[in-house]
Amino acid sequence: MTASEYDAARTEVGLDEARGELERLLGDARFHATDRAKRILRYIAEKCFEGEQTGVKAYAIALDVLNRSERFDTGSDPIVRIEISRLRSALANYYDAYGATLEVIVQLPVGRYLAVFTRSAAISASCDDLRKQETGEIAEPAARSAFETSERAPASRGRHSLKIGAALVILVAAGSAGALIFKNAPATTSRPSVSVSMSSADDGKAAEADSTLKYLVAALSQFRTLDISAKQVGPRAGRIETSYEIQMKYYADDDNRTIWWQVVDGRDRTILKSGIDKVQIDGRSEVAVRDELVSALAKRFASTRGIISNLEAHADTSSRSLGNACILRGEIALDEGGRQGIAASEPCLQRTLVAQPNNADAMAVLSRVLVARTGADPESTDFDYATTLANRAVSVDPRSDRAYVALMMAHFYAGKTETAIAAGNKALAINPNNPDVLAKLAGVLYSSGFQKAAVTLAEEASNDVEAVPRDARIVLALDAYGREDWSNASLVSEQINCSDFVVRAIRAASLGEMASPDAARSLAFLRQAMPDYKTAMRTSMERRRYPDDVIAGLEKGLGKAEVTESKLALATD
């Protein structure tokens, strides 16, 4: 093959090859574009195959793909721009995760609706290397005779030296670039390893302390946020290298049982956090008291917002790491509820699954992200793929509460309520101490009409935790609102640190029911998230399966908030 052929191979993609890549891409289950976005991509690509070079018109896309009427106005209806933006995002995420293994990629240049098929960077680089080898741009013959060298003209000798020097510079630069790429590649993190120990302040209660420790280790092992390190025994037993050590001391008196604890860095022995958990006996059995202590400690140490995971998340200062750190970022984004944060967590989850195809935790969290990033919009959510991911996670790790929570959410937002609740109950049976499981199941039950059970689970999820899960607080706020306890509904909603429009609506509606002057400020805050909330809020809440009476109640409160806002505006004029 000649150098010019290499150049052509680097830059040109034939029509048949482009068509083949389009079909491969659209059929790849890893390409998470909506059906609508895929139709748009096919339409634009086919137009380009037919010779379109300046760009397909938005009007044509609206009529031919989105079924808009001939009166469609691109100025007043941004639907095409929105869908193209989503398509570009889906393409970027896909190629970010899998592009290194592909020969051809398709791009939509900003500013024009064109499908441009090009060689991937990796293939282009290979073509460059082959071309340089053939044309001799880098290498010269390895050796010449002394006679041949001495007979060459000084200028020729100079050119030869320059070529060798240039070759060395290029090789050094290439090596440096490789080292830089390797250095800057994101790290893949694993679950932290944790050792657990407990002593008794009173030798007479040593058996009680030992029993509590055994049950605590069993409870911690039910979480997928950490791995418990086995304790060595025997004459050669030494300290096992772990990420963290949980050291505890057991105290017992007539009225209560108390555990003092501290979390120690397994590498430098730094004390990272310490505290005390106490349980009153109140005439209860030893087993009941022990179970309450174990539950409180398991939540505190091992939940997604617990001490260990919080330390791991903050240790990832670059926010680029794959594996466990990425999974934690995804779960934290889901708990905070902001669409941008949720969408931002998707690429690293995709890359984690490229590196670790059987990572059940990554599958489970990615499944939830794919549903939550679209607000469960049926037109833009691939429920089938989300369910497939969750089922795959369950298959890989049948004892994963994360996997069953993902399955619950995928089924629930797809309208399969009974199947969703069954999956949630399975997650709860696997890990009854996980506040995230309790909170997510509470949310599903509340929206499904089982509000008493939902409140019970939400209250349990709120006890003995470092941070109350968002779904638990939303359930408690809606319960207070439904009981016309406006003050408590307002208080609970103010404690939810997230940008979700439902939380903003509860705040504004509660203040509206109380005719509080602060209702105007909360209403403005809601408008920031949802400018057309008067019409869009109901649709969005229906997608999330909220009952009609809950939506109607919030709409009533928001109407009163608008009245208060109008009165304040008149008073200031």
Q: Looking at residue 234, which CATH number applies to its domain?
A: 3.40.50.10610
Judge whether 25 and 115 are in contact, CB under 8 Å: no
Model confidence at 191, pLDDT cuts 50, 70, 90, reads very high
Total domains in the chain come to: 3
Structure tokens at 402: 């994360």
Give residue 149's pLDDT.
33
Q: Is the pLDDT of residue 179 over 60?
A: no
Tens-place pLDDT, residues 255-271: 899 999 999 998 888 99
Domain closes at, from 252, 273, 302: 302
Ranked by mean pLDDT, which of 62-66, 81-85, 147-151, 367-371 comes out on top? 367-371
Dist. CA 39–CA 84, nearest whole Å: 11
Residue 388 resides in a domain: yes
- Per residue in 361-403, pLDDT (tens digit) is 999 999 999 998 888 777 777 888 889 999 999 999 999 999 9
Q: Are residues 240 and 353 in the same domain?
A: no
Q: Are 420 and 540 within one domain?
A: yes
Domain match, 355 and 294 both: no
Residues 467 and 385 in one domain: yes
| Chain mean pLDDT for the chain | 82
* HEC secondary structure over 240-291: CCCCEEEEEEEEECCCEEEEEEEEEECCCCCEEEEEEEEEECCCCCHHHHHH
Indicate the residue among 104, 122, 140 that finishes a domain. 122
Quick one: 105 and 251 in the same domain? Answer: no
Q: Is the model more confident about 54 or about 226?
A: 226
- 399 and 530 within one domain: yes
- 350 and 294 share a domain? no
Report how far Cα 543 is from the mean position of its chain's Cα atoms. Answer: 20
- The reply to whether 439 and 562 lie within a common domain is yes
DSSP tag of 110? T
Spatial distance between the Cα atoms of 433 and 217, rounded to a whole number of angstroms: 12
- Residue 78 pLDDT greater than 80, yes or no: no
Q: Residue with structure tokens 């029509």?
A: 15
pTM, entire model: 0.70
CB-based contacts of 206, cutoff 8 Å, min separation 6: 200
Same domain, 213 and 344: no
- Of the residues 256, 285, 302, the one at which a domain ends: 302
Report yes or no on 366 lying in a domain: yes
| Residue 13 pLDDT > 90 | no
Does the residue 132 lie in any domain?
no
Tokens 């997510």 belong to 440
| Enclosing domain of residue 199 | 193-302
Across residues 284-305, what is the average pLDDT?
A: 92
- Supply the pLDDT for residue 111: 67
Determine, yes or no, domain membership for 246. Answer: yes
CB 400 within 8 A of CB 360: yes
Q: To the nearest 10°, the Cα dihedral for 261, 262, 266, 269?
A: -130
178 lies in some domain: no
Characterize the bridge pairing of strands 322-323 and 104-107.
Answer: unpaired
- Same-domain status, 359 and 448: yes
User: From its phi and psi, is residue 549 left (phi > 0), alpha (psi between -120 and 50) or beta?
Assistant: alpha
